[in-house]
Structure 1
Amino acid sequence: MSQAELRNDGARPAVRLERELADPPAVVWRAITEREQLRAWFPCDVEVAGGVWEVGATITFDFGAEMSEMTLTGEVFAADEPKLLVFSWGEERLRFELTPQGSGTHLVLIDELAPDAAARNAAGWDGCLDRLAGLEPGNWQSRFDAYAATFEPVLGPQSGPPTT
Structure 2
Amino acid sequence: MTTATGETLTTVDGRTALRMERRLAHPPPMVWRALTEPGRLTQWFPSDVEMEPRAGGKVRFPFRHGEGEATEGEVAEWNPPHVLAYTWDDDVLRWELEPESLGTVLVLTHTFADRPGAASFAAGWDACISRVDPVLAGGPVPARGDMKAAHERYVKEFGLDRGAAEELPVGWKVRFERQLTQPAATVWRTLLGGVSAPEVGGPVPRGFVAGEFAAGPVSELRPQEVLAYPWDLHGRHQGTVRWELTRGTGQGARLVLTQTGLPEVPASLALDVWRDRVESLAAKSAAMPR
Q: What is residue 157 of structure 1 aligned with on the other side?
A: 178
Aligned AA (1:30) = R
Structure of higher CA gyration radius: 2
| Superimposed CA distance per residue, residues 39-95 of structure 1 (whole angstroms, 9 cap, x where no aligned partner) | 1110010002xxx3211111110112331x421111000010000001011111000
Secondary structure at the aligned position of 1:122 is classed as: helix
1:19–1:133 contact (8 Å) kept in structure 2: no
TM-score, length-normalised on structure 2? 0.51
Please name the residue that 1:23 is paired with: 26
Task: Determine what percentage of the aligned residue pairs are the same residue.
Answer: 35
Q: Matches of residues 9-48 of structure 1 in structure 2 within 5 Å?
A: 9-48=12-51
- Provide TM-score, normalisation by structure 1: 0.86
Distance in 1 between the 2:163 and 2:84 partners?
28
Cross-structure match for 1:143: 150
Q: Which has the higher helix share?
A: 1
Gap change, CA 1:87 and 1:78, over 3 Å in 2? same
Q: Write out aligned runs for 1:99-118 (5 A).
A: 99-114=98-113, 115-118=115-118
For structure 1, which runs of at least 5 residues remain unmatched after alignment? none
With over 3 angstroms needed to count, the CA separation of the structure-2 counterparts of 1:162 and 1:93, relative to structure 1, is: farther
Local SS of the residue matching 1:27: helix
Cα offsets for 1:96-121 (capped at 9, x unmatched): 00000014111000100121221110
Find out whether 1:54 has 2:71 as its counterpart: no
1:12-54 Cα shifts (integer Å, max 9, x gaps): 1111111111111111111100111101110010002xxx321
Query: Could you say if the C-alpha distance between residues 26 and 154 of structure 1 is closer, same or farther in structure 2, counting changes exceeding 3 Å?
Result: farther
Which deviates the most, 11-20 or 130-139?
130-139
Task: Identify if the C-alpha distance between structure 1 residues 79 and 11 changes in structure 2 by more than 3 Å, giving closer, same or farther.
Answer: farther
| AA matched with 2:82 | K
- Alpha-carbon separation, structure 1, partners of 2:53 and 2:17: 23
Name the residue aligned to 1:71. Answer: 70
Q: Which has the higher contact order (CA 8 A, sep 6+)?
A: 1
CA distance in 2, matches of 1:71, 1:62: 4
Distance in 2 of aligned mates of 1:57 and 1:8: 28
Output the CA distance in 2 between the equivalents of 1:42 and 1:64: 11
- State the Cα distance separating 1:133 from its structure 2 match: 2.7
What do you get for the CA RMSD once the two structures are aligned?
2.2
Between the aligned partners of 2:87 and 2:163, the Cα distance in structure 1 is 24
| Matched residue SS, 2:93 | strand
1:127 is matched with 127
120-129 vs 130-139, which deviates more? 130-139
- 3-state secondary structure, aligned to 1:127: helix
Q: CA deviation at 1:10?
A: 4.3
CA distance, structure 1, for counterparts of residue 251 and residue 55 of structure 2: 29
- State the one-letter code of the partner of 2:33: R
